[in-house]
Amino acid sequence: MHPKKIKEIEAIFKNNKNNQEYWDTKQKKTKRGLNIISPPTNCFVHKICGELLATKRIIWIGGPPGVGKTTCVKRFQNYGCMALDGEDHWNREKLNGIIKMSEKANNELNTTFVFGACYGKYLLEAPDYVIPVLIFPDKDVYKKRLEWRDTQGPKKQQLLAKERYITDEEIAKGDNKVLVLRQKVEECVDVTICRICELILNKIKREKKKS
């Protein structure tokens, strides 16, 4: 998607800051155990997420550290998908753990399920029933994210981020089954969600035409 188009869509999704703070405050006062959703969800995003939800697919989202994998998974959950994060305790076996949990979700659940925080190299090992997606920002976009991250974490994390970016860059160049979401400009999470949905739905359409 062209950067100009991304900015146009992002302008639609952005909520007035005062309005968002108002609803955040109201939700946090709930005494009924309601989910607190922030920022507020958007009907346009609901529509495309609903299309993806109906396909009942297992999706792995990977990318370099700090790229927004966990944020995307949380947002997919806001829009109705089941979700788990690969950095949680259940995934001590790493790749084997994700494969086992994906298989369980595929066999037992009648919905679309999103797994986040996958290492880029895991995406290459995804089972046939899984749709792997790599979030891959341009170097200048990722550099800005790392500049913020550099003030937040130890040097070891910073080096790891740069190493994994190089690994993911090779995956993005390769001719493989991984869908690559390239980010040429900064974008809000709802734009990223929409673009991931488009990538997957287009892939499903192509597969149907072939069959």
Nearest to 193 by CA among 53, 27, 65: 53
Alpha helices in 42-138 (DSSP H): 43-53, 69-78, 95-108, 120-123
Distances (CA, A) of 74 to 97, 144, 152, 201: 20, 22, 21, 20
For the domain made up of 42-210, give the CATH fold. Answer: Rossmann fold (3.40.50)
Kindly report the pTM of this predicted structure: 0.88
Could you read off the pLDDT of 129-151 as tens digits, one per residue?
Answer: 999 999 999 999 998 887 766 55
Q: 138, 184 in Cβ contact below 8 A?
A: yes
Q: 127, 57 in Cβ contact below 8 A?
A: no
Query: Which of the four pLDDT bands, split at 50, 70 and 90, describes residue 25?
Result: confident
Query: Which of the four pLDDT bands, split at 50, 70 and 90, describes residue 48?
Result: very high
Q: Note the pLDDT of residue 16.
A: 59
Top pLDDT among 167 and 7 is at 167
Over the chain, what is the mean pLDDT? 88
Nearest to 202 by CA among 24, 19, 6, 52: 52
Could you read off the pLDDT of 147-198 as tens digits, one per residue?
Answer: 766 555 566 777 788 889 999 999 999 888 999 999 999 898 999 999 999 9
